[in-house]
Amino acid sequence: MMEIPNSMPNIEPVKFGPDDQFKFKCHSKIDCFTKCCKGINIILTPYDIIRLKRRLNLSSNEFLAIYTTPQLLEKTDLPVVTLKLMNDELQSCPFVREDGCIVYEDRPTTCRYYPLGVASLSHKEGADDNEFYFFVNEPHCHGFKENREWKVREWRKDQGVDIHDEINAEWTDIVVKKRSFPANVKLTEQSKNMFFMVSYNIDKFKEFVFTSSFLDRYNIDEKTVAKIKEDEIALFNFGIKWLKWLLFKEGDFIIQEPKKEPGKK
């Protein structure tokens, strides 16, 4: 088990597992309060966007347009989005105010993990391991000087990360899998667009499923169709299953035989 001292020197990222320990406490009286919400690079996960767009009462399209910047994720060639920062001197997060985060209950996964980083999204060498975390070791963060001890697994629970990780798990699996491919294995533009739509634009994916020929092309049982019509998370899980079939030929999505005209063989 690894223990990190409570005065943090500027060290290289340390590989952490669920039972490794660190000392950290963040609170509104600390002299660095909200400094971590400026000049940051936050990759948003699909569930982050679902939570935030609901909170702000926006469609996923509107949320993407107002609050995100598109990027290609390092070593994967996959399109992702980051939180678009304000155009002020410190490049603040649009949700930070003097007294803290205005979307705190629905803050993104990366904010919940901080000061830990998740290797599967912020690539470091050897990041394909399961449950690999590292310190986001920023000198302005004084939370390491506080005397509260955590195991990584306790921190995750305290910050409500588990539900985010659970819902994003299969999506993260696609990212990690694509990263393990040789660099010359490229996805088509169409595949990347589909990845983006399922990952980030759940409203558009719903429209695609229910207004295109999608349901004619695949054998989807009625119960599933009813479920994904009503439940965004079920729709997202369904989309990820489809993506895995589309990108890696994994799973059991069946393309129906095209319907034949009467009298033709």
Q: Which residues bind ligand SF4 (CB under 6 A)?
A: 26, 30, 32-37, 40, 93, 95-96, 101, 103, 107-108, 111, 114, 140-143
Six-digit token string for 152: 């990584």
The answer to whether the CB of 115 falls within 8 A of the CB of 143 is yes
Nearest Cα to Cα of residue 202 among 166, 169, 171: 171
Element spanning 150, H or E: strand 149-151
| Between 165 and 209, CB nearer to ligand SF4 | 165
| Between 140 and 217, CB nearer to ligand SF4 | 140
Question: Which region, left, alpha or beta, applies to residue 84 given φ > 0 means left and ψ of -120 to 50 means alpha?
Answer: beta
Report the alpha-carbon distance of residue 186 to residue 69 in Å, rounded.
Answer: 22
Nearest Cα to Cα of residue 103 among 51, 154, 169, 35: 51
Burial state string for 107-138 with b = 16 or more CB within 10 A and e = fewer than 16: bbbbbbbbbbbbbbbbbeeebeeeebbbbbbb
CB of 142 to ligand SF4, least distance (A): 5
| Between 17 and 39, CB nearer to ligand SF4 | 39
**Residues 6+ positions from 73 with CB-CB distance below 8 Å:** 43, 79, 80, 121, 123, 175
Report the alpha-carbon distance of residue 100 to residue 185 in Å, rounded.
Answer: 43
CB of 206 to ligand SF4, least distance (A): 25
| Between 32 and 56, CB nearer to ligand SF4 | 32
CB of 87 to ligand SF4, least distance (A): 15
Locus of tokens 């479920």: 227
| Omega cis (within 30) before 108 | no
| Between 141 and 202, CB nearer to ligand SF4 | 141
| Between 22 and 95, CB nearer to ligand SF4 | 95
CB of 63 to ligand SF4, least distance (A): 13
SS3 125: coil
CB of 10 to ligand SF4, least distance (A): 15
| Between 55 and 227, CB nearer to ligand SF4 | 55
CB of 148 to ligand SF4, least distance (A): 11
CB of 81 to ligand SF4, least distance (A): 14
